Amino acid sequence: METNRQKKIAGVLQKDLVDVLQHAAQEGMKGVIISVTKVRVTSDLSVAKVFLSIFPTDKKDKLIEGIQSNTALIRHELAQRTRNQLRRMPELTFYLDDSLDYIEDIDASLRGDVENPIKNPEIISRKRKK
């Protein structure tokens, strides 16, 4: 269970990460929206797992690679912004949050836009998470 301190630090990081990543996206790529959907901080406050949702989805793999390769710069920028609130900046690990894609798949299934897995069970194996 998360402590109040973990939640508070996660909230601070999430708010500032949104600013940092949106600013970088505006400079580098027009029309890209990066959302920080969730931040989880470990109990020892040393690592923060950051979950990102990227739109449009066709650019998500390229963008998450770019973000991961620039983790040190992002961490430094965050440290500058939060220096009055946090003594130590946790290590950042970035993950792609595919829950919106999952919801979209469910919506498509409910609308009947995709093949029914009950009538054709072979399509289920293709949809399993990687």
* Overall domain count for the chain: 2
Domain that holds residue 123: 98-130
d(CA 19, CA 39): 14
CA 87 distance to own-chain centroid: 24
Predicted confidence (pLDDT) per residue in 72-85, tens digit: 999 999 999 988 88
Q: What is the CATH number of the domain that holds 16?
A: 3.30.300.20
Same domain, 116 and 64: no
Same domain, 113 and 91: no
Contact of 102 with 130, CB cutoff 8 Å? no
Give the whole-number percent of the chain exceeding pLDDT 90.
42
Q: Is the pLDDT of residue 129 over 80?
A: no
DSSP character at residue 90:
P
**pLDDT for the residue numbered 130:** 46
Same domain, 21 and 75: yes
With 0-12 CB in 10 A as exposed, 13-18 as middle and 19+ as buried, what is 27?
exposed
Same domain, 88 and 114: no
> Which residue is listed with tokens 């979209």?
104
Same domain, 116 and 82: no
Same domain, 80 and 56: yes
Same domain, 107 and 93: no
With 0-12 CB in 10 A as exposed, 13-18 as middle and 19+ as buried, what is 61?
exposed
Same domain, 75 and 109: no
Predicted confidence (pLDDT) per residue in 7-65, tens digit: 999 999 999 999 998 887 777 677 788 889 999 999 999 999 999 988 877 878 888 89
Same domain, 13 and 64: yes
φ and ψ at residue 88, rounded to 5 degrees:
-125, 135
